[in-house]
Amino acid sequence: MFYFDPLSLVFAIPGLLLGIWAQIKLHHAYGKYSKVPVESGMTGAQAAREILDRAGLVNVPVEEIPGRLSDHYDPTKRALFLSSDNFRGRTVAAVGVAAHESGHALQHQAAYGLFNARMAIVPATQFASMAYMGIIFAGFIFQSLFHTFIWIAIGLFCVMTLFQIVTLPVEYDASRRAKEQLFRLGLVHEHERAGVSKVLDAAALTYVAALVSAVLQLLYLLTIARGGRR
């Protein structure tokens, strides 16, 4: 019933390779700059606190969480979570990542349109990714209904792809805000600028890879739906 379609590889490989390349770049950049001490001597947590306080976000807590690169801003809790390495680290990488997450809090405060759009489609995306797996499975079980199911799957996948499309500019904007604040507040000096950029650009590349993978997967689904391939 399940059989391997070589065409799926043609659509999967470019995104996969880009994803691996992005991970290697991030591993390399983060690994390098998490060993370079920041001249201000601040920890990531202190840098984030400074950026948030200066923006009037004194009620947004900065908390430490386990995991590697598990850093994120939670808009529902209005709280910033930093992995231990970045929370405690007094390095260019730690301060850069902490500032990036603070950038998301600044987007939230500014009611930045794409940030709000991304937040709004999170529940739909979570539903779509669960339903997608179910519908693909059902399409294989009930082969006669394949063509109905494949179009439902495409609809669901469009929602997931839309999320990736909206995420990309939100991530780049958070990094832009991060760098702006780091230099404006003097948390990072001129010669440390390139290091911050390298870490944040490498992190952003992982989102580019995710988007490319999603678009190619969508094209593959459209190809099999239109061509009647299974």
Pick between residue 146 and residue 173 the one whose CB is nearest to Zn ion. 173
Query: What is the per-residue binding string for Zn ion in 174-193, x denoting contact by CB under 5 A?
Result: x-------------------
Helix (H, G, I), strand (E, B) or coil at 188: coil
Selecting among 101, 171, 190, 192, the annotated active-site residue is: 101
Respond yes or no: is residue 101 known to be catalytic: yes
CB of 171 vs Zn ion, minimal distance in Å = 5
Closest CA relative to residue 52, chosen from 99, 113, 116 = 99
From the list 5-13, 20-28, 163-171, 216-224, the region that binds Zn ion by CB under 5 A is 163-171
Q: Which of residues 17-36 bind Zn ion (CB under 5 A)?
A: none
Phi, then psi, of 83 in degrees rounded to 5? -65, 155
DSSP E strand boundaries for the chain: 62-65, 72-74, 79-83
DSSP E strand boundaries for 76-206: 79-83
CB of 106 vs Zn ion, minimal distance in Å = 12
Taking the C-alpha atoms of residue 10 and residue 187, their distance in angstroms, rounded to an integer, is: 46
Active site residues: 101
Positions that interact with Zn ion (CB under 5 A):
171, 174
